[in-house]
Structure 1
């Protein structure tokens, strides 16, 4: 049946401005081509001012330090879900794999973050408020959206979902996004996409690209044949000359060119 993907989506949020994108902890992210700072987002008090109404999130933070700090981390999406299938007399929990939602390259991108006996550490041995159950979601969240809609992968259901009735329980459902101006939060369930992306639109685009690429290759090969064909013709040969025909034809007479006569002047004495 394939794999089912579960995404969360938050529309109309301003998470792509420079002040937000650069507000990260330098001890947690790779910063070769950019600089990051935690100004005005580096203490528990700052987190309290920005997200104090979210008691579940604030309970994660220690009061003495904030690691990782920054606006990106204070805004971390922490909602969680429980899928259950109706069996008639009871409900059966659906196993959701949240362990591999980050990109494979993130292991290198976030190599400053390590785990030891259930505790997450940043560079310079800074103990973090992150926990192993949200670490993969934290990695996904670090890739800020280019537009005003957030859509991130939250988990997989291996083997797909059988036909039936399901329900979704929100084990954590933060209302902070409404305070921040988001009109709604969405949960999107999709099939596992093909290697080209969306099975419909992306395959059509890919087919057009393959056709244009093949056409360019044919034209390139035709130009090569024409170039080598022209180079094989001997230069300076010209058309053959029929000597007998030239002798049979009368020679064209060239009009005689006489020098101009000098004027004669008469003088009477």
Structure 2
């Protein structure tokens, strides 16, 4: 993979809550942290990393460029601002957060700017988030698939996004699954509960293991130490082909995140 398979998400976590989450995660073994400009927590994440005692070179840090900063005179300055907040000279991965076709965003122009940021040494790798197949192809046609480390997409047992995920795999672009637990909706799923019982595991671990076993990266978030530790242990689970098939049958196109002003037309 171009990127770590297991990381900590920080969506909806702010101020002391995100500081505590990140510091605890680093303490228990996480080494990849995912944030974004729109989360308004980059400075807090930077503070948590600084206070953690973990060396910057031992971490994989991801941020995402918000749609307000796509203009030619804004994208790179906004990334430099993010770096200042995160207290680092460069991040490991920078993503375009949403393609926002309804706003008339030019994907080729934005991808060129992102590649320029990489060439300036502001980010080690670049990628996309919430892109459908057609827009991903636009990005590939502009800068080449070799420059696109990942497409971070909503993906869970209830929204398996197979058409897009298979396309990305064919292009050698890593799939990063966010919302893998579907805002916690999968946690009481009878199928996952049954599989969890067989493995003496939690349903969260089963859902994460299902994604990991397909080669996807995951970035679950938590504010509780025990859950942070528990989620990490999903990496130790191996599900049988029968169990994977049972989870495959949970597909229901259960999308949780679909902001109409920023989202593309999703692949069905």
Same fold by TM (over 0.5)? no
Task: Point out the structure with the larger strand share.
Answer: 1
Question: What range describes the TM-score normalised by the shorter chain of this pair?
Answer: under 0.3
* Pair member with larger Rg: 1
Q: TM-score, normalised by structure 1?
A: 0.25
Q: TM-score, normalised by structure 2?
A: 0.25
